[in-house]
């Protein structure tokens, strides 16, 4: 027996579901006690119920094959019209993969569909595996290519959506069989034993496809601005700044409660730490925005840290954000993050707090910094985080439209075209979503928008954005035989829900503290596998076959440490 038979694996031949445990009902009848006919009382507790949580892993994909005529669509899920290109119909509107990236087509992003969610991904039982583009044979499984030649290559990008609860995910393989297959005379001259050589001949790469575009992206230089909300609602309890009463340790200081700005500090410093450890060719700066205070009649926005390639300086600027935010929000008129006169107590009264949230001015300041001090010919990014809409409070200042500021930032003129990523933290998402989009493109692009109902996910989002700012993380690059062997060993390869943490999927234990669970809000995470049969491969592979199963396994994060299931030896 294969040891995978003893655990609940989620195969790609059926809908990926792990134990929705149903409901356990516990109800009491009303209990009453009357002392006399004149004095009586009834206290009822009716309809009590305990409902078990759910953990649902949904998978979609796009597969391509190049047999000498360029990349061809092979199969996808969902694929509403069966043409091998990922597509779905939602409310009578068809969304398609949009072919491959086309600089002249703003609607073409060459990526797995970001509109797919936990609510609209069809079950795998409805998957159409398409046809082999060479032979025309119908495919009954995910990979069923029967006329592979030297020089051929293929790729699959899987989109993972974990729904309902956070969980750990493993990628797995099973039933790997590298067989000599049909013995031809040319093959027997060089391989008289007709060994299975195909897996060892194929070169493969397994990686996190952060932008889900089915293409491995190497490192490129980039200038990045982090544009952060410094309004009172990020810190003060009266305005929703306190997330919970759990302790949080930051930079050697432990606070008795967790606030949104604490999570921003953890996330942005993790962002910087990842860029440092990756030796990324980056320059980073930090902008901030609040509202107006007292008689200022001026938006409180500015540059917390100018662009620099000294990331230790940026890390220093991102420390003690409670105090720096308080200096802006509750300090005297004209206060800046560096004045030190604000009150960082989250439970201080709301009197004197600056009003408004000037997102547009924050974007303008960040863009001006990229324009003035950014490097020529280098890609530009701006990451904007806010927990509300842009407005000017009760003051008289005319504020800049955040969507107009974002349009200017993305445009090639008058300033450098900038990728605009936005993060909405438990606020109104419409403005930030309409701002998000690629350099030179339109706003409203879901690939550039992060919507967080739970502020505790702030560090994870910054981690994933850091991974996009550098080369995409390769999990393993080897022969396909060795990649499959790793996937088939034990529980498989443990995947990391936050790629900015310094976790090695092959050498670190599955329960390593640097491995994060995946959020349970359905956000798309992409893992890709590509392969190529080199041209120089000889006759020894003729007729050989390589068969294998692929699957993803998930288990809830709560009450588990990520170490995985205990396997019973075969």
Distance CA 93, CA 84 (A): 18
pLDDT interval class at 125 (50, 70, 90): confident
Question: Does residue 386 share a domain with residue 247?
Answer: yes
Least confident of 262-266, 295-299, 499-503: 295-299
In which residue are the tokens 């149903």 written? 22
* pLDDT band per the 50, 70, 90 thresholds, residue 505: very high
CA nearest 129: which of 63, 192, 70? 63
> Strands 419-425 and 474-479: what pairing?
unpaired
141-148 average pLDDT score: 85
| Residue 309 CA, distance from chain mean position | 26
> How much is the average pLDDT of 353-378?
89
Measured CA to CA, the distance from residue 505 to residue 515 in angstroms comes to 9
Q: State pLDDT tens for residues 2-26.
A: 444 333 333 332 222 222 222 222 2
Going by C-alpha positions, the residue among 492, 529, 556 that lies closest to residue 170 is 492
Same-domain pairing of 99 and 153: yes
Cα gap 535→481, rounded to integer Å: 18
User: Residue 27 domain-assigned?
Assistant: no
315 and 448 both lie in a single domain: yes
389 vs 380, higher pLDDT: 380
Token code pair at residue 405: 């500021």
Dist CA 387 CA 455 (whole Å): 9
Q: How far apart are CA 318 and CA 230, in angstroms?
A: 12
- Count the residues in the chain: 570
- What's the distance, CA 471 to chain centroid? 15
Choose the most confident range, by mean pLDDT, from 100-104, 143-147, 284-288, 351-355: 284-288
pLDDT higher at 569 or 536: 536
Please tell me whether residues 150 and 77 are part of one structural domain.
yes
Residue 37 lies in a domain: no
* Of residues 153 and 464, more confidently modeled: 153
What gap in Å lies between CA 208 and CA 187, rounded to an integer? 37
Note whether 177 and 108 are same-domain residues.
Answer: yes
Q: Is the pTM of this model over 0.75?
A: no
Contacts of 106 (CB under 8 A, 6+ apart): 440, 441, 442
Helix (H, G, I), strand (E, B) or coil at 203: strand
Is the domain of 252 the same as that of 383? Answer: yes
Residues 522/163, Cβ–Cβ less than 8 Å? yes
HEC string for 50-68: EECCCEEEEEEEEEEEECC
Q: Which domain holds residue 85?
A: 56-217+472-556
CB atoms within 10 A of CB 471: 16
Domain assignment present for 203: yes
Please answer whether residues 332 and 343 qualify as being in contact, where contact means their C-beta atoms are separated by less than 8 angstroms: no
Give the helix, strand, coil percentages of the chain, each rounded to 5: 20, 30, 50
The predicted structure's pLDDT at residue 17? 27
C-alpha count within 13 angstroms, C-beta hemisphere, residue 284: 27
Residue 42 has a pLDDT of: 56
Among 525, 516, 459, 502, CA closest to 279: 502
Residue 182 placed within a domain? yes
Which helix or strand (DSSP H or E) is residue 73 part of?
Answer: strand 71-77
Phi/psi at 371 (nearest 5 deg)? -70, -40
Residue 35: inside a domain, yes or no? no
Least confident range from 79-83, 468-472, 485-489, 517-521: namely 468-472
Any domain includes 14: no
pLDDT digits (tens, 9 = 90+) for 437-448: 999 888 988 889
Residue 533 lies in a domain: yes
Cα–Cα distance, 484 to 206 (Å, whole number): 10
Pairing of strands 525-532, 153-163: antiparallel
Question: Can you give the CATH number for the domain in which 443 is found?
Answer: 3.40.50.410
Neighbours of 474 (CB within 10 A): 13
250 and 389, same domain (yes or no): yes
Query: For residue 188, is it within any domain?
Result: yes
Are 270 and 349 part of one and the same domain? yes
Pairing of strands 493-494, 56-66: unpaired
Q: Among 469, 494, 527, identify where a domain stops.
A: 469
* % of residues, the chain, pLDDT over 90: 44
Cβ-contact 429, 394 below 8 angstroms: no
| Whether 462 and 339 share a structural domain | yes
Cross-strand partners of 159: 60, 526
Residues 264 and 252 in one domain: yes
**Would you tell me how many other CB atoms lie within 10 Å of the CB of residue 71?**
16
Task: Tell me, yes or no, whether 106 and 197 share the same domain.
Answer: yes
The answer to whether residues 204 and 530 touch, using CB atoms and an 8 Å cutoff, is yes
Q: Is the pLDDT of residue 193 over 60?
A: no
Same domain? For 444 and 296 the reply is yes
Give the total number of structural domains in the chain. 2
């Amino acid at each position: 027996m294969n040891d995978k038979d003893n655990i609940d694996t989620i195969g790609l031949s059926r809908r990926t579901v792990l134990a929705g445990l149903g409901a356990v009902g516990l109800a009491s009848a009303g209990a009453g006690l009357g002392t006399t006919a004149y004095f009586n009382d009834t206290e009822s507790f009716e309809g009590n119920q305990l409902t078990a949580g759910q953990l649902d892993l949904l998978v979609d994909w796009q597969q391509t094959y190049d047999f000498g005529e360029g990349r061809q669509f092979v199969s996808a899920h969902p694929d509403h019209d069966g043409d091998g290109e990922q597509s779905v119909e939602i409310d009578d509107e068809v969304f398609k993969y949009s072919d491959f990236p086309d600089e002249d087509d703003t609607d073409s992003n060459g990526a797995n569909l970001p509109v797919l969610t936990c609510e609209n991904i069809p079950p795998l039982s409805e998957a159409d595996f398409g046809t082999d583009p060479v032979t025309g044979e119908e495919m009954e499984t995910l990979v069923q290519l029967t006329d592979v030649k030297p020089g051929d290559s293929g790729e699959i990008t899987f989109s993972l959506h974990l729904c309902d609860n956070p969980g750990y995910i493993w990628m797995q393989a099973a039933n790997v069989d590298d067989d000599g297959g049909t013995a031809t005379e040319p093959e027997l001259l060089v391989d008289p034993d007709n060994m299975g050589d195909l897996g060892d001949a194929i070169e493969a790469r397994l990686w996190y496809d952060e932008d889900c575009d089915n293409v491995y992206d190497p490192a490129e230089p980039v200038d990045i601005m982090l544009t952060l909300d410094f309004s009172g609602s990020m810190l003060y309890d009266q305005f929703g700044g306190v997330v919970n009463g759990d302790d949080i340790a930051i930079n050697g200081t432990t606070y008795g409660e967790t606030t949104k700005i604490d999570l921003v500090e953890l996330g942005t410093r993790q962002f910087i730490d990842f860029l440092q450890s990756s030796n990324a060719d980056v320059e980073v700066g930090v902008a901030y925005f609040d509202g107006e205070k007292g008689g200022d009649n001026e938006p409180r926005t500015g540059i917390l840290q100018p662009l620099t390639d000294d990331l230790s300086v940026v890390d220093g600027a991102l420390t003690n954000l409670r105090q720096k935010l308080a200096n802006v929000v509750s300090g005297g008129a004209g206060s800046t993050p560096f004045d030190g006169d604000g009150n960082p107590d989250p439970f201080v009264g709301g009197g004197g707090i600056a009003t408004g949230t000037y997102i547009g001015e924050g974007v303008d300041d960040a863009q001006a910094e990229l324009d003035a001090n950014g490097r020529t010919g280098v890609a530009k990014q701006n990451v904007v985080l806010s927990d509300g809409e842009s407005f000017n409070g009760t003051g008289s200042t005319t504020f800049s439209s955040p969507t107009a500021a974002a349009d200017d930032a993305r445009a090639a003129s008058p300033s450098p075209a900038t990728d605009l990523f936005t993060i909405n933290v438990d606020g109104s998402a419409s403005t930030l979503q309409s701002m998000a989009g690629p350099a030179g493109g339109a706003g409203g692009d879901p690939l550039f928008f992060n919507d967080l109902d739970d502020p505790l996910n702030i560090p994870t989002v910054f981690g994933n954005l850091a991974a996009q700012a550098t080369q995409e993380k390769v999990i393993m690059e080897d022969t396909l035989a060795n990649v499959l062997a790793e996937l088939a060993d034990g529980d498989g390869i443990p995947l990391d829900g936050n790629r900015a943490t310094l976790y090695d999927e092959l050498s670190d234990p599955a329960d390593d503290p640097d491995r994060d669970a995946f959020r349970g809000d359905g956000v798309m995470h992409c893992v890709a596998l590509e392969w190529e049969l080199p041209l120089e491969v000889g006759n020894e592979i003729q007729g050989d076959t390589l068969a294998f199963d692929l699957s993803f396994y998930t288990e809830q994060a709560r009450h588990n440490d990520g170490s995985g299931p205990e396997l019973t030896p075969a």
